[in-house]
Amino acid sequence: MLPKKAMLSRTPPMGWNSWNTFGSNINEELIRNTADNMVAKGFLEAGYNYLVIDDCWSEMKRDENGRLAASKEKFPDGMKAVADYVHSKGLKFGMYSCCGTRTCAGYPGSFEYEYIDAETFASWGIDFLKYDYCLRPTISDGKHLYRKMAMALRRAGRDILFSACNWGADNVYDWIRSSGAHMFRSTGDIVDNWDSIKNLYRSQMEKGPYSGPGCFNDMDMLVVGMYGKGNVGFGGCSEEEYRTHFALWCMFNSPLMIGCDINNISDSAKELLQNKDLISINQDPEGRQPYLANNTNGDRHTWIKPMANGEYAIGYFNLSDNRTDVLLHFWDIGVPSLSGYGVELYDCFKHEVIGVFKDFYNPIIEAHGCAIYKAKVVKL
Ligand code: GLA
C-alpha cells in the first residue's frame, strides 16, 4: 500500500543538519550523541524532530549491486542501525543525495539511480531526503530530475519528506511545488556571518508568494550558535545578529534546521532556538508569508504576518550599522486610531505584553537587531 503523503510539511519542517558545523567530519558517534542531546536538551520537545546527515556519508563507490553504501569507517554499523537508533529516541531520520552523477563534495550521486536509491533509503528507514544540484550532465533538465526523484520516493513505500536543494536556480519557483517536493532551497549557501544573513534575507523579500503549506521556501540551515567555528563558520555573528537571523527565518516560514553543534551548544543559542513565541510564528498553521509594511532608507523594515488565531506577528528589523528607531504607522496596516482601535503588543523576547499603542510604534533597535511582537487589534 502507498503511504499517506498528504501532510509532511503542513508547517515548516524543523530539525538539525550536520553540514554547517561538521562538513565531511561525520560519524556514527556524532549522530548518536546528537540524537541523545536533541532529546535531553529539549530540542525535540520544542519541535525539532528531524535529524539529517548531509553530504559525505557514503563510500566513494557504489557496491557490487549498484547500491549506495555507507562509509564503513564513519558508520561501521551501517545506516539501518543509525536510523533505528535515531528512531528509538522519537526522532525522524534524514539523509542526503544529489541529482547529479556526484554530490557537491564528490561522493556518488543519484543520477540514473533514482529508483534504486529511493528503495535503499526506504529500506534503511529514512524519513527525509535532501537532494542537491551539483554535477548534473549539462544536457539534463533540473526540473525533470527533481520530478523523477520525487516520483521514486513516492512509490518507495514510506513517507519521505523531499527537501529540494537547487539554490533558487533555474526558475525553481515555477516548478518545484508541482514536483511534489515539501521544501526547497530558495537561496545560495549560508555562511556564519552578518553579510550572508543580510544577503539571503534580501534575496527572499519578494519570494513570499511561492511559499506555503505543503512546500516551503528554505532560506538554508541556521548558523545560530556557531560563533565562527565549523565548516561554514566564516567570521561568526554577534548574539544580536543571531537573534535577527532566527527571527527572520521564523517570520518568513523558513524550515528551521539547526546547524550548530547541539552537543556543545551555548545557553544563549539554546534559549534562542527554543524561543516558543518565535517558533509559534514560524509554525503558525495558516503558513501565511509576511508583507513589508514599511521600508525606511532601505535598511529599516517592518513586516506583518497574519496568524491563524486572528493576531498578527510584527517584525521590526534594523539592518543598518547604527542604533536607531524603526517605525510602523498603524494606518499602514489598516488600524487608524480614528476608527477607535489601537494595537496591543506582546514582546516575543521578553514574553510579556508591553502595552497598547495608538497611531504608531517605533522601538529603538540596536544595529543589526530586531524586535518581534504578537499584535492584537483592540478597542481604545
Ligand atoms: C551544497 C548545498 C549545501 C550542502 C553541500 C554539501 O553546497 O547547498 O547545503 O549540502 O552542498 O556538499
165 lines ligand 1 (CB under 6 A): yes
Ligand 1 geometric centre to CA of 101 (Å) = 15
Q: Are 183 and 315 in the same domain?
A: no
184 lines ligand 1 (CB under 6 A): no
Is 189 labeled as catalytic in the residue annotation? Answer: yes
Residue 108 domain boundaries:
14-282
Mutate to test the pocket of ligand 1, among 16, 19, 110, 129 (most ligand atoms within 8 A of CB): 19
Q: What angle do CA 221, 9, 85 make, to 5 degrees?
A: 70
Task: Out of 54, 127, 132, 261, pick the active-site residue.
Answer: 132
Per-residue pLDDT, 138: 86
Predicted TM-score (pTM) of this structure: 0.97
Mutate to test the pocket of ligand 1, among 24, 54, 172, 187 (most ligand atoms within 8 A of CB): 54
Ligand 1, atom 8: closest residue by C-alpha: 189
Ligand 1 geometric centre to CA of 104 (Å) = 6
Instruction: Tell me the CA distances in angstroms from 269 to 79, 223, 237, 245, 285, one per residue in order.
Output: 30, 10, 12, 12, 25
Counting the structural domains of the chain, the total is 2
Q: Are 144 and 216 in the same domain?
A: yes
Ligand 1, atom 5: closest residue by C-alpha: 104
Task: Out of 36, 84, 189, 299, pick the active-site residue.
Answer: 189
Ligand 1 geometric centre to CA of 242 (Å) = 21
Ligand 1, atom 3: closest residue by C-alpha: 189
Q: Are 94 and 172 in the same domain?
A: yes
Q: Are 321 and 183 in the same domain?
A: no
**Does residue 8 form part of some domain?**
no
Choosing from 282, 310, 327, the residue where a domain stops is: 282
C-alpha cell at 127: 524519513
Per-residue pLDDT, 52: 99
Q: Are 34 and 120 in the same domain?
A: yes
Q: Are 160 and 141 in the same domain?
A: yes
| CATH for 331 | 2.60.40.1180
Ligand 1 geometric centre to CA of 132 (Å) = 7
**Does residue 38 form part of some domain?**
yes
Ligand 1 geometric centre to CA of 133 (Å) = 9
**Among the listed residues 80, 168, 170, 185, the one whose alpha carbon sits nearest the alpha carbon of residue 131:** 185
**Does residue 307 form part of some domain?**
yes
Q: Are 63 and 98 in the same domain?
A: yes
Q: Are 248 and 325 in the same domain?
A: no
Q: Residue 105, Cβ neighbours under 10 Å: how many?
A: 16
Q: Are 323 and 256 in the same domain?
A: no
| Per-residue b or e along 351-378, where b marks 16 or more CB atoms closer than 10 Å to that residue's CB | eeeeeebeeebbbebbebbbbbbbbbbe
Per-residue pLDDT, 6: 52
Q: Are 140 and 238 in the same domain?
A: yes
| CATH for 69 | 3.20.20.70
Q: Which atom of ligand 1 is found nearest the CA of 189? A: 8
Choosing from 261, 282, 303, the residue where a domain stops is: 282
Tell me the Cα Rg of the chain: 21
**Does residue 9 form part of some domain?**
no
Ligand 1 geometric centre to CA of 378 (Å) = 46
Give 10-residue mean pLDDT values along the chain (380 residues).
Answer: 67 98 98 98 98 98 98 98 98 98 98 98 98 94 97 95 97 96 98 98 97 97 98 97 98 98 98 98 97 97 98 98 97 92 97 97 98 97
Ligand 1, atom 9: closest residue by C-alpha: 189
Q: Are 298 and 192 in the same domain?
A: no
**Does residue 236 form part of some domain?**
yes
Choosing from 251, 282, 313, the residue where a domain stops is: 282
104 lines ligand 1 (CB under 6 A): yes
Q: Are 299 and 173 in the same domain?
A: no
For the chain, the three-class secondary structure string (H helix, E strand, C coil) is CCCCCCCCCCCCCEEEECHHHHCCCCCHHHHHHHHHHHHHCCHHHHCCCEEECCCCCECCCCCCCCCCCECCCCCCCCHHHHHHHHHHCCCEEEEEEECCCECCCCCECCCCCHHHHHHHHHHHCCCEEEEECCCCCCCCCHHHHHHHHHHHHHCCCCCCEEEECCCCCCCHHHHHHHHCCCEEECCCCCCCCHHHHHHHHHHHCCCHHHCECCEEEECCCCCCCCCCCCCCCCCCCCHHHHHHHHHHHHHCCCCEEECCCHHHCCHHHHHHHCCHHHHHHHCCCCCCCCEEEEEECCCEEEEEEECCCCCEEEEEEECCCCCEECCEEHHHHCCCHHHCEEEEEEECCCCEEEEEECCEECCEECCCCEEEEEEEEEEC
CA dihedral 165, 170, 174, 177 (to 10 degrees): -20
54 lines ligand 1 (CB under 6 A): yes
135 lines ligand 1 (CB under 6 A): no
**Does residue 133 form part of some domain?**
yes
**Does residue 2 form part of some domain?**
no
Ligand 1, atom 6: closest residue by C-alpha: 55
**Does residue 357 form part of some domain?**
yes
Is 277 labeled as catalytic in the residue annotation? Answer: no
19 lines ligand 1 (CB under 6 A): yes
55 lines ligand 1 (CB under 6 A): yes
Q: Which atom of ligand 1 is found nearest the CA of 96? A: 10
